[in-house]
Amino acid sequence: MQAARILVMDDEVQDRRRIEEYLAQNKHEVLTVGTADEAMNVIRKERFDVFITDCNIPGVDALETSAEVRKINPDMAVIILTAFGTIETAVKAIRAGAYDYLPKPIDLDQLNMLIGRISERQNLIRENSELKEQLKDRYKFDEIVSTSHTMEEALNLAGRVASSSASVLLRGESGTGKELVAKAIHYHSQRANFPLIKVNCAALPETLLESELFGHEKGAFTGATSRRIGRFEAADKGTLFLDEIGELAPGMQIKLLRVL
């Protein structure tokens, strides 16, 4: 388990020390505070992976505190500690952005396991973000090498349409970089954080292509043993790249035109 930086807020000194000592034994870096003001001051100055707070501290609104700390550090997970009878408050805190809640008295092993899941999730988010940045850098328009004035004009146009929601038709001979331009458009658009789905229209027979693009419900036809999500739905909020669209049969082109 990867070590995490943790801030604990509890007005009960004994509870704070118990949590701090246990988590420190599990190689986590822990800082404790007793008031919301102390917590806010520390969070403004330092970065933490997890914020653990008791929701029964006198004069402290757990919902408001959870929302405030996540405004300062949106990546920080909030765990609410709640006594019996205040679970409803904890559930409201989760709806306001807290990661999870644990009932008191705290099961420290359960708390440590929860922190482990949070660390794994945060690592995946960071890795995904870094990968997207790498892809964005890889598919920069100025990374596409060309000595053709016509190609330069096409790339300038592609850069302008990337910020729009318009459908884009890329035309060119095989090997001229249509897929490369399509990826550059996607990773420089507002859709960059959503899927880029590619379909090679020439590689699928017409009998399968309709189901591939639009999906089907279970029992819709012989052999449809389960519900299938089509590529259009899979690319929701992202980009659908239909490669070799000119190879589609006229009947399928009509259905596709109605969607577009």
Domains, the chain:
5-134 (3.40.50.2300), 148-259 (3.40.50.300)
List alpha helices for 176-249, DSSP H. Answer: 178-187, 206-214, 231-234
Predicted pLDDT at 260: 81
Q: Residue holding tokens 């709640």? A: 82
The answer to whether the Cα torsion of 141, 142, 148, 150 is positive or negative is positive
Residue 133 confidence (pLDDT)? 62
Listed residue (9, 19, 17) closest to 106, CA to CA? 19
Contact 238, 195 (CB under 8 A): yes
Angle between helical axes of 13-25 and 108-138 (0-180°, round to 10): 60
How is residue 196 annotated by DSSP? E
Q: Whole-prediction pTM value? A: 0.52
- Give pLDDT tens digits along the chain (260 positions): 578 889 999 888 888 899 999 999 998 999 999 888 888 899 888 889 999 988 877 777 777 777 788 888 888 899 988 876 566 766 777 776 788 888 888 899 999 999 988 888 877 777 766 666 655 555 666 666 667 778 788 888 888 888 888 889 998 888 888 888 888 888 888 888 888 889 888 888 877 888 888 887 777 776 667 777 888 888 888 999 999 888 888 888 888 888 88
For residue 215, report the phi and psi dihedrals to the nearest 5 degrees: 75, 180
pLDDT of residue 108: 92
